[in-house]
């Protein structure tokens, strides 16, 4: 979902004021007394004290030891960085080329008609590439070959820009309330995922329509529910009295995968699709509220499809907000909602194999003042017997992060019967804990964060990088460890350092870890509390609103953004940096997105010679419509709207990206 500022007209996240009723006072109050003393000592007491205090707190909380500069160049990255700019089209660093792989509406399945925005149907859309590509995964073909020239792309389709898909529906958010039944059908088919074969021939990538493994997963694809919430009365509906069979997956943002070869797709802002008077009157009203479910849904699906109407199916929203696992190499496989990993607005779920073979999944809940989680499997994964891994994600422990001062943190277990997670607090069993994971985490003492987005482990140094995209509503009293800035407009990146990081003994199962701030984003010298490794270049080095992240095999970080401040003349894009050495956190702009778009995905092929990017919601600007979009990227065809697309970036000389 876009992370635009509070003044934007369109995005659903305008409603994202945060659902956490007790976002916590952080350690703000506690530290404030100490800082007030310090401010007084500095002669800062008086009228300006509050502002000075915030700044002092910021400075203190994010001050971290800098790495010792080493001899040699400032960065191992060799591309000349781009300048910040706004444009109707994309730009990539000199020496690189962006190739089109697949666009919204392009044929995926056998028999899919060619893209025709004026004659779109639900049936056509269900065989074509969906809308608003987000998470990207790449799996080699043949399976296990390690090929970097031929594989399967697994792509999330998070949501629809109704105003840019259909003629005559008007602009922005209001368009979503004006759709007729046929248009809603198209939207339902445009959500979900695509698995599509892709091939590099003579240096150029293309998709293979009708490929043997190609698949569309939509909001109507049958799925199974497993884990503690499977079959729970709160998951039962008239269409599924068993509470174990769900149609579809919703608002699939980022994702991840498993070491045993399956893909994970994460359900994020599912709340926006459900509405009805029951939002305020149902016995579950409090629980709805905690997840942002309101009387008036953003999308008008409930007017045309019964299950999105809370008054008819009050439990349907409980069947969303999970992570979903499926086998990319089997188009017939039934995706499984793994409820042991908790129900919240899942940005993604990325794995890290621990010293003993158990697997941790790190997960962000992308909303202001929500939490960072991890799930640790009860058993190690089995390299030799794939069948043994099939239900590994059903048994294990869900934890939530609590950050403390001096770089310390704990992982608190969300286990029924532990601490406050008891019947007295409304948790009859583990099913209640996972269905209301947010409330459980609050009671357990989790640290409210600045919108945790993608979380990923660096394959080289073993540290876990948490993208905290922004939080304009954090007050000075609410700042605390790991969330050190009030009115955090630009976000930051936190490194979580598990015991043994960077060694084979790394322990991702541990209940304690350390943390550091890697980047506090924004413009150095302008935005308070900004921190990079050192002053970044004035051309393109500074970034805002980190969202997705990937690492190349050298352990360098590639950060995509969502919500760059247009007013400052900067577009969303991809920034890269070393994570260690002299170039640590010295970010450089590599790719700039067309107007209105954010960049999702980033995914390298195993040889680091291709970087796939998902360019999501091009033209999502205030006032933009089907008839008069702010850009017609990528086709620039008069009379046609922009199209979310997946591109492949390659180096013109065929070399490794960034080297
Ligand atoms: Fe869908 Fe958290 O971005
Ligand atoms: Ca986003
Ligand atoms: Ca995201
Ligand atoms: Ca990622």
Measure the CA–CA gap between 179 and 405, rounded to whole angstroms: 50
Grade residue 535 by pLDDT with cuts at 50, 70 and 90. low
Domains and CATH numbers, the chain: 27-34+65-268+321-651 (2.120.10.30)
- Quick check: CB of 366 below 6 Å from ligand 1? yes
- Mean of the per-residue pLDDT values for the chain? 90
Average pLDDT, integer, range 511-523: 97
pLDDT tens readout for residues 270-296:
999 999 999 999 999 999 999 999 999
User: Is the pLDDT reported for residue 51 higher than 50?
Assistant: no
144 vs 17: which has the higher pLDDT: 144
Residue 73: predicted pLDDT: 58
Measure the CA–CA gap between 458 and 579, rounded to whole angstroms: 9
pLDDT tens readout for residues 478-507:
999 999 999 999 999 999 999 999 999 999
User: Is the pLDDT reported for residue 63 higher than 80?
Assistant: no
The minimum-distance atom of ligand 1 relative to the CA of 366 is 2
Among 408, 614, 610, 439, which Cα is nearest to 512's?
408
In the reported structure, the alpha carbon of residue 311 is separated from the centroid of ligand 2 by a whole-number distance in angstroms of: 30
Grade residue 26 by pLDDT with cuts at 50, 70 and 90. very low
- Residues above pLDDT 90, as percent of the chain: 85
User: Is the pLDDT reported for residue 14 higher than 80?
Assistant: no
Measure the CA–CA gap between 250 and 171, rounded to whole angstroms: 23
* DSSP class per residue in 406-462: TTEEEEEE--TTSTT-SGGGT--SHHHHHHTHHHHHHHHTPPP-B-EEEEEE-TTT-
Strands 336-338 and 222-226: parallel
Residue 2: predicted pLDDT: 53
- Quick check: CB of 268 below 6 Å from ligand 1? yes
- Quick check: CB of 267 below 6 Å from ligand 1? no
- Quick check: CB of 347 below 6 Å from ligand 1? yes
Burial 74-108 (b: 16+ CB within 10 A, else e): bbbbebebbebeeebebbbbeebebbbbbbbbbbb
27 vs 129: which has the higher pLDDT: 129
Grade residue 304 by pLDDT with cuts at 50, 70 and 90. very high
Contact in structure between 350 and 373 (CB atoms under 8 Å): no
- Reduced to 3 states, what is the DSSP secondary structure of residue 173? helix
Say which ligand is closest to the CA of 138: 4
In the reported structure, the alpha carbon of residue 239 is separated from the centroid of ligand 2 by a whole-number distance in angstroms of: 32
- Quick check: CB of 436 below 6 Å from ligand 1? no
Nearest-CA residue for ligand 1 atom 3 is: 1
Average pLDDT, integer, range 356-368: 98
The minimum-distance atom of ligand 1 relative to the CA of 347 is 2
* DSSP class per residue in 274-285: -BSTHHHHSTTH
Weakest mean pLDDT among 7-21, 240-254, 526-540, 614-628: 7-21
Q: For residue 162, what are its two tokens?
A: 């109704």
Measure the CA–CA gap between 277 and 311, rounded to whole angstroms: 7
Say which ligand is closest to the CA of 563: 2
- Quick check: CB of 527 below 6 Å from ligand 1? no
Average pLDDT, integer, range 150-166: 98
The minimum-distance atom of ligand 1 relative to the CA of 345 is 2
In the reported structure, the alpha carbon of residue 485 is separated from the centroid of ligand 1 by a whole-number distance in angstroms of: 21
Among 227, 222, 250, 498, which Cα is nearest to 333's?
222
- Quick check: CB of 101 below 6 Å from ligand 1? no
User: Is the pLDDT reported for residue 405 higher than 90?
Assistant: yes
Residue 173: predicted pLDDT: 85
Average pLDDT, integer, range 563-571: 93
The minimum-distance atom of ligand 1 relative to the CA of 134 is 1
Residue 38: predicted pLDDT: 28
Measure the CA–CA gap between 436 and 432, rounded to whole angstroms: 6
- Quick check: CB of 1 below 6 Å from ligand 1? yes
Burial 477-510 (b: 16+ CB within 10 A, else e): bbbbbbbbbbebbbbbbbbbbbbebeeeebbbbb
User: Is the pLDDT reported for residue 593 higher than 50?
Assistant: yes
User: Is the pLDDT reported for residue 636 higher than 70?
Assistant: yes
Average pLDDT, integer, range 99-110: 98
Across 46-50, 67-71, 216-220, the highest mean pLDDT is recorded for 216-220
In the reported structure, the alpha carbon of residue 434 is separated from the centroid of ligand 4 by a whole-number distance in angstroms of: 24
Q: For residue 412, what are its two tokens?
A: 């608190």
- Reduced to 3 states, what is the DSSP secondary structure of residue 186? helix
Q: For residue 252, what are its two tokens?
A: 């699939």
Average pLDDT, integer, range 131-144: 98
User: Is the pLDDT reported for residue 221 higher than 90?
Assistant: yes
Residues in Cβ contact with 87 at an 8 Å cutoff, skipping those fewer than 6 apart: 571, 592, 594, 595
Among 219, 237, 223, 232, which Cα is nearest to 435's?
232
């Amino acid at each position: 979902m876009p992370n635009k500022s509070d003044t934007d007209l369109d995005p659903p996240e305008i409603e994202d004021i945060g659902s956490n009723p007790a976002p916590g006072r952080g350690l703000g109050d506690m530290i404030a007394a100490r800082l007030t003393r310090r401010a007084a000592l500095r002669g800062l007491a008086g009228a300006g004290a509050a502002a000075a205090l915030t700044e002092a707190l910021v400075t203190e909380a994010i001050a971290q030891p800098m790495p010792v500069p080493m001899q040699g160049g400032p960065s191992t990255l060799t591309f000349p960085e781009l300048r910040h700019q706004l444009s109707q089209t994309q730009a990539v660093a000199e020496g690189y080329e962006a190739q089109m792989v697949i666009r919204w509406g392009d044929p995926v399945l056998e028999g899919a008609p060619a893209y025709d925005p004026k004659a779109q149907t639900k049936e056509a859309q269900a065989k074509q590439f969906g809308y608003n590509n987000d998470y990207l995964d790449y799996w080699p073909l043949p399976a296990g070959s390690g090929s970097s020239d031929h594989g399967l792309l697994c792509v999330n389709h998070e949501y629809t820009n109704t105003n840019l898909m259909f003629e005559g529906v008007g602009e922005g958010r209001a368009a979503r309330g004006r759709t007729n039944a046929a248009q809603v059908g198209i939207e339902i088919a445009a959500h979900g995922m695509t698995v599509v074969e892709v091939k590099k021939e003579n240096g150029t990538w293309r998709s293979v329509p009708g490929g043997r493994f190609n698949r569309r997963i939509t909001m109507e694809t049958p799925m199974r529910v497993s884990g503690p919430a499977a079959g729970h009365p709160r998951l039962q509906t008239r269409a599924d009295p068993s509470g174990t069979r769900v149609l579809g997956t919703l608002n699939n943002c980022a994702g991840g995968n498993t070491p045993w070869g399956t893909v994970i797709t994460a359900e994020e802002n599912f709340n926006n699709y459900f509405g009805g008077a029951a939002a305020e009157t149902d016995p579950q009203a409090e629980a709805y509220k905690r997840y942002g479910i309101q009387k008036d849904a953003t999308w008008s699906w409930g007017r045309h499809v019964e299950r999105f109407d809370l008054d008819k199916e009050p439990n349907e929203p409980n069947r969303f907000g999970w992570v979903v696992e499926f086998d990319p190499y089997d188009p017939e496989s039934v995706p499984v909602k793994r409820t042991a990993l908790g129900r919240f607005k899942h940005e993604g779920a990325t794995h890290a194999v621990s010293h003993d073979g158990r697997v941790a999944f790190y997960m962000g809940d992308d909303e202001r003042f929500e939490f960072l989680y991890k799930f640790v499997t009860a058993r190690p994964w089995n390299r030799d017997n794939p069948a043994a891994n099939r239900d590994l994600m059903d048994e294990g422990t869900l934890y939530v992060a609590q950050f403390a001062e001096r770089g310390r943190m704990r992982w608190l277990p969300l286990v029924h019967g532990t601490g406050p997670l008891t019947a007295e607090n409304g948790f009859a069993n583990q099913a209640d804990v996972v269905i209301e994971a947010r409330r459980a985490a609050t009671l357990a003492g989790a640290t409210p964060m600045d919108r945790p987005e993608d979380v990923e482990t660096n394959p080289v140094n073993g540290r876990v990088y948490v993208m905290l995209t922004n939080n304009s509503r954090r007050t000075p009293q609410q700042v605390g460890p790991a969330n050190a800035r009030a009115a955090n407009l630009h976000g930051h990146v936190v490194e979580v350092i598990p015991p043994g990081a960077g060694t084979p003994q790394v322990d991702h199962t541990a209940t304690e870890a350390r943390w550091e701030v890697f980047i506090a984003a924004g413009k150095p010298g302008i935005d308070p509390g900004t921190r990079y490794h050192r002053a970044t270049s004035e051309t393109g080095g500074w970034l805002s609103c980190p969202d997705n992240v990937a690492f190349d095999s050298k352990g360098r970080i590639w950060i995509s953004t969502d919500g760059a401040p247009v007013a400052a003349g900067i577009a969303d894009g991809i920034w890269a940096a070393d994570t260690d050495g002299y170039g640590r956190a010295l970010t450089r702009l590599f790719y700039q997105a067309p107007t209105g778009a954010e960049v999702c995905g980033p995914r390298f092929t195993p040889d680091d010679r291709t970087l796939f990017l998902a360019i999501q919601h091009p033209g999502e600007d205030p006032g933009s419509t089907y008839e008069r979009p702010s850009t017609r990227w990528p086709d620039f065809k008069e009379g046609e709207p922009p199209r979310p697309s997946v591109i492949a970036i390659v180096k013109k000389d065929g070399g490794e990206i960034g080297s």
